[in-house]
Amino acid sequence: MKFFIDTANLAQIKEAQDMGVLDGVTTNPSLMAKEGIKGQDNILKHYVDICNIVTGDVSAEVIATDFDGMIREGEALAELHPQIVVKIPMIKEGIKAIKYFTEKGIKTNCTLVFSAGQALVAAKAGATYVSPFIGRLDDVSTDGLSLIEDIRLIYDNFGYETQILAASVRHPMHIIECAKIGADVATCPLSVITALLKHPLTDSGLATFLADAKK
């Protein structure tokens, strides 16, 4: 299973990369705004900075919602760095854009996916990744993990190669359950990745070992 970090914060991306378990990065306009990255030039430079920290795929989202605009923005993003994946919203124009980029050999991430039907269409268009937002489904009393199960089943039924990128991951159990179901990727905040390391018996066991080592 691949771990992506879901942030535009360079320090957190470096910290995750230094742990040696990071496979990529996802960003979105809200995460860029959270870091105070403004203006087209600064935004493009920030994506390059991220690519220079990590070795895997880096999702960069288009802002346009019309086909021509998405193609223009996506081509500019893809030219920035070979690691860039063009992130495109799950709308009709977006599906057309994903198909276009797939035919040109440019990687895509279909974002804002909340149903199995949306995931099926994204796969048919050839998306490299599909991003179901499991935490936001949980927020509205709908089981986000059931969606991951449904997408896994559908993709396996037909051999779709689109990778399931579980997004809006809020806690370590989301990651564990996604791993059990067979999601290809989980993208999470740094705090959720580091929470996987924690167990009170590890802490108490280590304290005992260190105390005994002094005897």
Number of shown-chain residues binding ligand G3P (CB under 6 A) = 9
Matching residue, tokens 């990369």: 17
* CA contacts within 13 A on the Cβ side of 105: 2
Instruction: Specify whether 87 is catalytic.
Output: yes
Choosing from 95, 167, 175, 181, the residue that interacts with ligand G3P (CB under 6 A) is 167
Q: Which stretch binds ligand G3P (CB under 6 A): 71-79, 116-124, 132-140, 142-150?
A: 132-140
d(CA 186, CA 199): 21
Instruction: Tell whether residue 28 is a contact of ligand G3P (CB under 6 A).
Output: yes
- With 0-12 / 13-18 / 19 or more C-beta atoms within 10 angstroms meaning exposed / middle / buried, residue 214 is exposed
d(CA 87, CA 193): 22
Q: Which residues on adjacent β-strands are paired with residue 58?
A: 25, 84
* DSSP state, residue 125: T
Site pattern 170..199 for ligand G3P (x: CB under 6 A)? -----------------x------------
d(CA 101, CA 78): 10
Site for ligand G3P in 43-62 (CB under 6 A): none
Instruction: Tell whether residue 133 is a contact of ligand G3P (CB under 6 A).
Output: yes
- Closest separation in Å from C-beta 15 to ligand G3P: 18
The stretches of 20-104 forming alpha helices (DSSP H) are 29-34, 40-53, 67-80, 92-103
Phi, psi of 146 (to 5 degrees): -65, -35
Instruction: Tell whether residue 136 is a contact of ligand G3P (CB under 6 A).
Output: yes
Choosing from 114, 164, 168, 193, the residue that interacts with ligand G3P (CB under 6 A) is 168
How does strand 108-113 pair with strand 24-26?
Answer: unpaired
Instruction: Tell whether residue 6 is a contact of ligand G3P (CB under 6 A).
Output: yes
d(CA 111, CA 120): 13
Active-site residue (options: 38, 87, 107, 214): 87
Closer CB to ligand G3P, residue 59 or residue 83? Answer: 59
Q: Which stretch binds ligand G3P (CB under 6 A): 40-48, 128-136, 156-164, 191-199?
A: 128-136
Q: Contact residues for ligand G3P (CB under 6 A)? A: 6, 26, 28, 133, 135-136, 167-168, 187
Active site residues: 87
